[in-house]
Chains A and B, each alone.
Chain A
Amino acid sequence: MTTTSPEFSNKQLDSAQLLDIPQFSQQQFQPLEPVYWRVNLLLRVLISLVIIAALVIVKYQTFSPLESFPAANIHWLILAISLLLISRIGFGYLSDCAKGYAIRELDISYQSGVIFKKIVTQPFLRLQHIELKRGPFERKVNLATLQVFSAGGAVHTFELPGLSLEQAQQLRQFMLDHKDVTQHG
Chain B
Amino acid sequence: MDKWRRVSPIALLYFFFSNLKFIVNNIIYLVPIIFTSYDKIINNPWWVFLAIFAALSLLIISAFLQFYFFKYRLNEQSIEINSGVIFKKNLHLPYTRIQNVKLISPLYFRPFGFTCVELDTAGSNKNEAKIVALEVAQANNLKQEILTNTQPEEHNEPSTTPTNNEEILNQRALKDLIIHGVTNNRIWIFVAALAPMADNIVEYMSEFTLSIGLDFTDLFSPQIHAWWQIASYALLALIISYGIVMLLSVFGSIIAFYGYTLSKHGETYIRRSGLLTHHEVVMKLPRLQLVIWQQDWLDVLIKRVNLKFEQSNANLKNPPGMDIRNKIMVPSIEPTQFNQLIDDVWPTNQLASIAFSPISKRFIYRHIFVVILPLHLMIGAFILLNNHWQNLATLIPTFVISSLLIIARWYRWGFAIDHEFIYLRKGLLGVNYYTFPVHKIQQTKFKQSWFMERRGLSTMVLVLASGAQKIPFISTVQANKIIDFCLYQVESSKQNWM
Contacts and interface: CB of A to CB of B under 8 A. Distances in A.
B92 A123 contact: no
Given A106-B491, A172-B92, A25 B443 contact: no
Interface residues of B, number: 55
A97 to B, nearest CB: 15
B484 A150 contact: no
B432 interface: no
Contacts of B93: 128-130
Interface string B479-490: 011011101101
A157 B127 CA distance: 10
Contacts of B121: 128-129, 149, 151
Interface string A119-160: 111110111111111111001000000000111111111100
Given A115-B450, A117-B448, A129 B87 contact: no
Contact of A24 (B97, B129, B314, B483): B483
A126 B121 CA distance: 12
B124 A149 contact: yes
Task: Indicate the size class of the contact surface on chain A.
Answer: 35 or more
B170 interface: no
Contacts of A19: 488
Main secondary structure of the interface of A (DSSP, over half): mixed
A6 interface: no
Contacts of A136: 86-87
Nearest to B467: A153
A126 B442 contact: yes
Q: Which interface residue of A128, A132, A158, A184 has the most chain B CB atoms within 10 A?
A: A128
B339 interface: no
Contacts of B447: 116-118
A157 to B, nearest CB: 8
B478 to A, nearest CB: 10
B480 A185 contact: no
B77 A176 contact: yes
A28 interface: no
A21 B485 contact: yes
Given A117-B447, A125-B490, A134-B88, A152 B468 contact: yes
B313 A153 contact: yes
B124 A182 contact: no
Interface of A: 14-16, 19, 21-25, 106-107, 114-123, 125-136, 139, 149-158, 172, 176-177, 180-185
Interface in B212-239: none
B207 interface: no
Q: Which interface residue of B151, B442, B445 has the most chain A CB atoms within 10 A?
A: B442
B283 to A, nearest CB: 16
B494 A125 contact: yes
28 contacts: A21-B484, A21-B488, A23-B484, A25-B446, A116-B447, A116-B450, A117-B448, A121-B444, A122-B443, A123-B443, A126-B443, A127-B97, A128-B121, A129-B129, A130-B93, A133-B88, A133-B89, A134-B87, A135-B88, A139-B88, A149-B127, A151-B123, A152-B442, A155-B468, A182-B77, A182-B96, A184-B494, A185-B151
